[in-house]
Amino acid sequence: MAGDPNILSDFILPANQSAVDGSFFTFTDMRVLIGAPEPTSFKVLKASLAEFPALNGQSVSTAVLQFPAGSVNPPHTHPRSAELLFLIFGSLQVGFVDTTNKLYTQTLQEGDMFVFPKGLVHFQYNVDSKYSALAVSNFGSANAGTVSVPNSVFTTGIDDNILAKSFKTDVATIQAIKAGLAPKP
């Protein structure tokens, strides 16, 4: 099933529970953001079904996106949901590519919202070299999924020759890209 299930009750209890209280519906993991130092690279803090079981059957989730100066959320997709991004502070260049390969971009300012249609490749980039940006993204699924384009193309074992031919380059370039994406020890 490619979307959230329709439920026949108000909410879904975990299999090992027969009753809950208000704490079941409360997610406290975002508290780490309060008073925390700014990250040195792009960071996402999610509240999806995996982190917050009360979202099961509710067709919603959220993420806080922290963008230090000059950082990027690389091109990616969410196969099960659109994304509605709200920029709290800073400025972001955002964009998506539709199924006709048309690029739609916008520079967002504080207080702006932008929608990324479901399943389309999109990105966010803090072009500011001095100041960070903070955004909150909301999804119409408790499990929107994320498919990173760089990771899915260059870290999954697709043969270097296939990638070189597909990107009209040479194997050495593909290997250099892969080396740049490899986890640092």
Locate the domains of the chain by residue range. Answer: 1-145, 148-184
How confident is the model over 148-170, as a mean pLDDT?
A: 94
pLDDT tens-digit readout, 77-131 = 999 999 999 999 999 999 999 999 999 999 999 999 999 999 999 999 999 999 9
pLDDT at residue 7, rounded to an integer: 86
How confident is the model over 58-69, as a mean pLDDT?
A: 97
Q: Taking a C-beta distance cutoff of 8 angstroms, is the pair 143, 49 a contact? A: yes
DSSP assignment letter at 22 = G
Report the percentage of the chain scoring pLDDT > 90: 85
Total-model pTM: 0.90
pLDDT at residue 2, rounded to an integer: 63
At residue 146 the predicted structure's pLDDT band, cuts being 50, 70 and 90, is very high
In angstroms and rounded to an integer, the radius of gyration of the C-alpha atoms of the chain is 19
Q: Taking a C-beta distance cutoff of 8 angstroms, is the pair 49, 61 a contact? A: yes
Q: Taking a C-beta distance cutoff of 8 angstroms, is the pair 45, 64 a contact? A: yes
pLDDT tens-digit readout, 4-23 = 878 888 999 888 888 889 99
Report the percentage of the chain scoring pLDDT > 70: 98
Beta strands in the chain (DSSP E): 43-47, 61-67, 72-77, 83-89, 92-97, 103-108, 113-116, 122-125, 133-139, 147-148
**Architecture field, domain 1-145:** Sandwich (2.60)
